[in-house]
A and B are shown apart, each in its own frame.
Chain A
Amino acid sequence: MQDQLDDAHRADAVEWGAARYQRRERDVRVQELDDEALVFDVRSADTHHLNRTAYSVWRACDGLRDMATIAEGLCATHDVPREEAEQHVQRIMGEFAERDLVWPA
């Protein structure tokens, strides 16, 4: 039973790692401030503050790089272990999706 669950988790992780997202470029206005950014969503009139980590993930969402690659990039630029980088990317992508700032490529 445990083996089956572990296999399922591994399969989910592989699926998540292979996912690609495209950041929204229409109807958003981005103001880069040092290594952070404000993203203004013209449709909802909401403004989002992207800290250094979130902004680097946002920039990496080009529809070509998958999540595993983005997490790997975060390890290098932010000097964090792989597992922590994956957790950050997963959480940030969840927030982006909730705010309609990215979509699956």
Chain B
Amino acid sequence: VQRVRLGVVQAVLETRFAGLLREFAGLYESFTTDEPVAGEIRVRVEKQPVSLRHRARYQVNVNDRLIFEPTRPDELLPYVEWVTNWEVPRALPDYLHLHASSLEVNGQGVILPGDSGSGKSTLALGLLTRGWRYLCDEFALIHGRHRTLAPFPRALCIKRPSYPVAESLGIELAGRPHYLKGAKGYVRFLSPCEISPHGIGRPCPIRYVIFPTYTAGAEPTLTPMTRAEGAFALHKVCFNLFGCKQLGLDVLADVVRGADCYRLVSGEIHRTCDLVEGLVTEGAAGAAELSRQCVAV
């Protein structure tokens, strides 16, 4: 059994597979705890008995519900991560859950909402190498009453097409195990402490909402959005708009009232990070200047 406390989420992995436990513990070694808490997410991985009709399968359960039956051992860790994510909205009904990477810099929350493939995790990784602090690469957890962003520092998942970008950011990937994550293909996981050497971010107000879209070879540009456009786009990436105890739309409206919203066309990672960093450190005028410089280059 391995129990971890990841910001506002506590999860426990129960399995007889020593290799899986070792990999899980390796990712979260600074986050282990012995104290069970009410509402923790229990993930159990076991092997289904082999029969003449079926190949050997594993069973990945969350809170005693069978969710996945993968056939390969290199699928287990991604599915453990997956079912944990799956259960988070149920475990944390006080939070609004958005599909977004979330980071903290100088006490300001920045969220990067987007669908799979929008480049949010890669951009988050780039900003983390510049001293930003990690909250989560898959969720923005917004407290329904306080409207603050909470940490859920799960391992950062890098997809195979992004390996060269991660290496260009100085992240050594060679020698790390590959895992198969369904339709997303092969991925590698990076431990939260490793990618956020300045520590994990603390709960903070949201100051910037940036919707990235990765376009290969594009010049990075930031385009301001109105607050209503921002809130409308956020509601589309919300997992529990009606499940959160506070009405989700009210929370989103309050979030954008205190934040600036932008669309980001992201391209080459270093220049994209320059642009976003310019926005956060120098405000909209700094970002506009950097945009002009990007186009001029």
Contact = CB atoms under 8 A, between A and B. Distances in A.
Our verdict on whether A and B bind, yes or no, reads: yes
Interface of A: 29, 31, 33-34, 36-38, 40, 45, 47, 49-51
19 contacts: A29-B249, A31-B250, A31-B253, A33-B226, A33-B227, A33-B228, A33-B231, A33-B257, A34-B226, A34-B227, A36-B227, A36-B229, A38-B231, A38-B232, A38-B249, A45-B242, A47-B249, A49-B232, A51-B226
Contacts of B1: none
Contacts of B242: 45
B247 interface: yes
Nearest to B247: A29
A47 to B, nearest CB: 5
B226 A36 contact: yes
A34 B228 CA distance: 8
A45 B242 CA distance: 9
A29 B242 CA distance: 13
What is the predominant secondary structure among interface residues of chain A facing chain B?
Answer: strand
B57 to A, nearest CB: 37
The secondary-structure label for the interface of chain B is helix
Contacts of B228: 33-34, 36-38, 49-51
Contacts of B226: 33-34, 36, 51
Contacts of A38: 228, 231-232, 235, 249, 252-253
Interface in B218-251: 226-229, 231-232, 235, 242, 247, 249-250
Interface of B: 226-229, 231-232, 235, 242, 247, 249-250, 252-253, 256-257
Q: Which of A36, A37, A38, A51 has the most CB of B within 10 A?
A: A38
A38 B235 CA distance: 10
A30 to B, nearest CB: 10
Contacts of A47: 232, 235, 249
Contacts of A51: 226, 228
Q: Which 10 A-B pairs have the closest CB atoms?
A: A36-B228, A31-B253, A49-B232, A33-B227, A33-B228, A40-B249, A47-B235, A38-B231, A34-B227, A49-B228
Contacts of A36: 226-229
A33 B249 contact: no
Contacts of A31: 231, 249-250, 253
Nearest to A48: B232
A36 B233 CA distance: 14
Given A38-B228, A49-B228, A49-B229, A33 B256 contact: yes
Nearest to B231: A38
A37 B250 CA distance: 12
A26 B253 CA distance: 20
Contacts of A49: 228-229, 232
A49 B250 CA distance: 14
Nearest to A55: B228
A34 B259 CA distance: 13
B253 A33 contact: yes
Nearest to B236: A47
A47 B247 CA distance: 13
A49 B66 CA distance: 39
A91 B249 CA distance: 26
Nearest to B228: A36
Given A34-B226, A47-B232, 18 more contacts: A29-B250, A31-B250, A31-B253, A33-B226, A33-B227, A33-B253, A33-B256, A34-B228, A37-B228, A38-B232, A38-B235, A38-B252, A38-B253, A40-B247, A40-B249, A45-B242, A49-B228, A51-B228
A56 B273 CA distance: 39
A36 B230 CA distance: 11
Contacts of B256: 33
